[in-house]
Amino acid sequence: MPKVPQTSPATGLPTSSSYIYTLDCHFVDSAGRTLLLRGVNLSGASKAPVGHLSYLLEDFWDSAEAGGESFVGRPLNIDDGSADVHLARLRGWGFNMLRFPFTWEAIEHAGPKKYDYEFIDYTIRVLQKCKDYGFRVYLDPHQDTWSRFSGGSGAPYWTLAACGINPKHITDTQAAIIHCEYPLAHAPDPAALPAMIWSTNYGRLFSQTVFTLFFAGRDFAPDCIIDGVNIQDYLQDHYIGACGVLADRIREYDNGSLLDDCIIGWDNMNEPFEGLCGWDDLNTIPARQGSTLKKGPSPTPAQGLRLGMGKAQTVDHWTFGMFGPSRDGTVTIDPKGRKLWSDGEEEVDGVHPKWGWKRDTTKWTLGTCIWAQHGVWDIETGYIVRPDYFKYHPLTGQEVDFITDYWKPHFVAYTQRIRSAHPEAIIFVQPPVFAKPPKFEEDDDCLQGRCAYSAHYYDGLTLVTRHWNWFNADALGLLRGKYSSPLQAVKVGSGAIRKSLQEQLALLQSDADILGPYPTIIGEIGTPFDMDGKKSYGWTDKGKFKGDYRNQEKALDASLNGCDGSNGLNYTIWTFCPDDHSHQWGDGWNMEDLSLWSPDDVWNDVQQQPGPLAPPKLRGTPAISSPSLDTLATTGSIGSLSTLGLKRFGHSLARNSPPNPYDFLTNGARAVRAFARPYPSKVVGKPLDVKFDIGKGLFRMVVTVGPEDRPEKGLATEVYIPLVHYAHPRLLVQGKASTPSTNKRPQLRRRKTSKLSNDARSTNSSTLSLSESIRERAQPSEDLEMANRSSDTEQGCIESGSSTSLLCDPSIPGPLSLSPPSPTPLLVDVEVKVSSGTWRVDGQTLFWWYDVPAEGEPPREYTIEVKRQGGVIKSTDVNRRRKGKKPRKLEEQDEKSWCERVCEPESVCVVM
């Protein structure tokens, strides 16, 4: 790892101790440790105002036309205490990073440049709460297929009218599928919406048009002038301006205290779409259009243009099965003369009475397809005059490249605006899905050494079919031309599928090399929970599989395992919906169901929302910087809240607290064993290989460390040890956890050690520094393997000599003093093996110290293994606990399919 500079690469100013660098393809802290940032998207529910889930048609259009509604309350309610509970849950799951979606609509719904400062200020309060819990955050201006009013999320309602579109006729013309109007606006049945069909909107006229206008209107729609500028500039200026207003307000809050300490950066537009830019032939749907899913009625762009003018069309109908999309017939769509294009009756001389813009109607004729006005096709005959109109620049005749010609200029403008408010912002570069980013030259003055590549990845077959299959396919490899035949991309068996997912994620990670030596974060990754007819909800088989998330666990573990290994990827899982989720409607948006937690999965009478919690008073608080899992314990069960650390933050937890941390972290969670997984959050050196075998509960990591990696005194590699996998037996007692016995006198635990170094000396002093205790008291040989078993009161404490032992202060990493600490019950029960060094566990964090080579010495590799002393906690045990049954015997095995029995996880089965 290169030496960490003392000044910012972006501004040249001195950096703080909390500063995160983007160096040598990694996130790095100010001490030079490699960071892994892993977390969740908070939250998918932020796509709509509170109470306006996508299936609700009542007041959908009326409220939009009146100026929309406030998004106050998204993503958390910070006035009733529930935000504290949800954030504590996320921290207990080991997450240290949040991707924070917000929408353009939430900021500017009332009209052009009419900003909702109440929502902005509420957002800042939520961000402050996230900071109180120790999260790092990057903000995500989120969109899907442009807007809620075109079947997705993102832009305000008035942007549709600005583009000359009549939203009320979107469903009639099949220009987009809107959940609350599916399948017909006059006879909606939103519960019948097929899985993922919302994403086919990218292949329909609305998205094709609006995204072309947003990114390339100056070139392809030069006659669309509004308020004296082209529609491209009008839309981009408002979008960037809204994000800039939020950034400015955050900078002004408390002298910018949220910046860098909490908010480390900004994503650009979520999953941007190229529209029609670069399209070869409007009469066909090109196979290379990776973001266009063929499912249900699938009009070509030419058919979409005709439908938009009210003309009936017979289009291909597609289904998506176990082996991908296949054409299964045709269907006729008849808009009955209704047009997508607004006739503009409300505008007087181009001036809109509600939204205030002035449209240049001398060239822009409302009520007529804008692409016909630009000579692309003939309305009367339906003939496509220029099928390759969007392939070439209309003036130069050169073939266009969407990423370089259109996406990049917008990205640069957005970045410059964000950096004017947040100069040290890490900009998360997110081109269209599966598209490679552009190259930035040094004179672009855009990345400024503060950048990360933000790709998205889903196991598409599982996502669309809602089934964990015994086979899969290398979708990214197919798209990138890796195979000469689609059959070669088929992977059979668990081992082959997991290997393929890891290879695909490695391929995405390699795209970051185009940008430079910057880290990669997978901004979205996840799996659906409503698999197989929602059998996990008890909706099939007479409720036999209610609460059984084993297939979801396999699917999610396979995806997240792809981020491990040699990839060592950062990620934020999609998604955590704290309040709106239900088994019937999923995440409350287009029938998606990917939330890691659901109130419908709470299995007992434990109240998940305790009374109000006073905001933590963190400034000047020593030792701990955020509430930890100890704050979840109940008085009288595993120790009082004040004893476990909550009191130091001025908290008081009301009567409805959870019975114990294990129950708290598993109750309501789905496939929790897959996402609450061990990982190295801070590494002295670099992680070479990270493995977690969920079936064996075995974590193994190899690190490499060189002379340049020497940290500040006493700093260790830190590994998250999830209670979900390694819970102390005390916490698994049915009902409330048993009260642990605590020792009045600390116990001295002996361990296998090498002889102390020649200059090691014994001491009876009352305190010993971290550096002294590690360097002088316990220096094992490099190839020494040490196995340590936990006691009830301390773990992994370093032995200082024959007459005294160093005790572990429960609130501070590392051995600190010889004075007895207050007894703290253990959360986890682990056996740890290290090839060299010393370790200790505090809460859910394992601290590991090892020697760093001196200058001139070669790098060294160290290995650590962690497993649970009491055996693996199975996913079925979680389900049995949910049903009030005793855990099953450890030797009982999970059910396996015939393919899984043939192709064990470590094998590689491939159909060639």
- Ordered by start, the domain boundaries in the chain are 1-29, 36-463+519-601, 683-733+825-887
pLDDT at 882: 65
Residues paired with 513 in a beta bridge:
none
Task: Give the catalytic positions in this structure.
Answer: 271, 524
Give, in order, the Cα–Cα distances in Å from 137 to each of 95, 99, 418, 453, 720: 11, 6, 15, 15, 19
Does residue 158 register a pLDDT over 80? yes
Using DSSP, state whether 909 is helix, strand or coil: strand
| Mean pLDDT, residues 866-892 | 70
617: confidence class by pLDDT, cuts 50, 70, 90: very low
Q: Which residues contact 222 (CB under 8 A, 6 or more apart)?
A: 230, 374, 394
**Amino acid occupying residue 617:** K
pLDDT at 639: 29
SS3 annotation, 307-340: HHCCCCEEEEEEEEECCEEEEEEEEEECCCCCCC
pLDDT at 880: 64
Neighbours of 503 (CB within 10 A): 17
**Rounded to an integer, what distance in angstroms lies between the CA atom of residue 562 and that of residue 578?**
26
pLDDT at 815: 35
Nearest residue to 216 via CA among 276, 161, 267, 166: 276
pLDDT at 321: 78
885: confidence class by pLDDT, cuts 50, 70, 90: low
pLDDT at 809: 34
| Mean pLDDT, residues 61-88 | 96
Does residue 678 register a pLDDT over 60? yes
Please state which of the ranges 618-627, 658-667, 707-716, 788-797 shows the lowest mean pLDDT.
618-627
444: confidence class by pLDDT, cuts 50, 70, 90: confident
Q: Which residues of 861-870 are buried (b: 16+ CB within 10 A; e: fewer)?
A: ebebbbbbeb
| Mean pLDDT, residues 600-604 | 86
Class of domain 683-733+825-887: mainly beta
604: confidence class by pLDDT, cuts 50, 70, 90: low
- Fold: same for 36-463+519-601 and 683-733+825-887: no
Q: Is the model more confident about 670 or about 790? A: 670
Does residue 461 register a pLDDT over 60? yes
β 136-141/97-102 pair status? parallel
The answer to whether 538 and 525 are in contact (CB under 8 A) is no
Using DSSP, state whether 341 is helix, strand or coil: strand
816: confidence class by pLDDT, cuts 50, 70, 90: very low
pLDDT in tens, 288-324: 644 578 899 999 999 999 999 999 999 999 998 777 7
Does residue 884 register a pLDDT over 80? no
pLDDT at 193: 97
pLDDT at 531: 97
Q: What percent of the chain has pLDDT over 70?
A: 79
Give, in order, the Cα–Cα distances in Å from 458 to each of 194, 286, 475: 18, 22, 10
pLDDT at 879: 67
Does residue 408 register a pLDDT over 80? yes
Please state which of the ranges 2-16, 111-125, 749-763, 811-825 shows the lowest mean pLDDT.
749-763
Specify the CATH number for 36-463+519-601; select among 3.20.20.80, 3.10.105.10, 3.50.50.60, 3.40.50.620.
3.20.20.80
With the CA atoms of 276, 277, 278 and 284 taken in that order, what torsion angle do they form, in degrees rounded to the nearest 10? 0
The DSSP secondary structure of 226-290, one letter per residue, reads: ETTEEHHHHHHHHHHHHHHHHHHHHHHGGGGTTBTTTEEEEE-SSS---TTTT-S-TTS--TT-T
The tokens 């659901």 sit on which residue? Answer: 598
Q: What percent of the chain has pLDDT over 90?
A: 74
> What average pLDDT is seen over the chain?
84
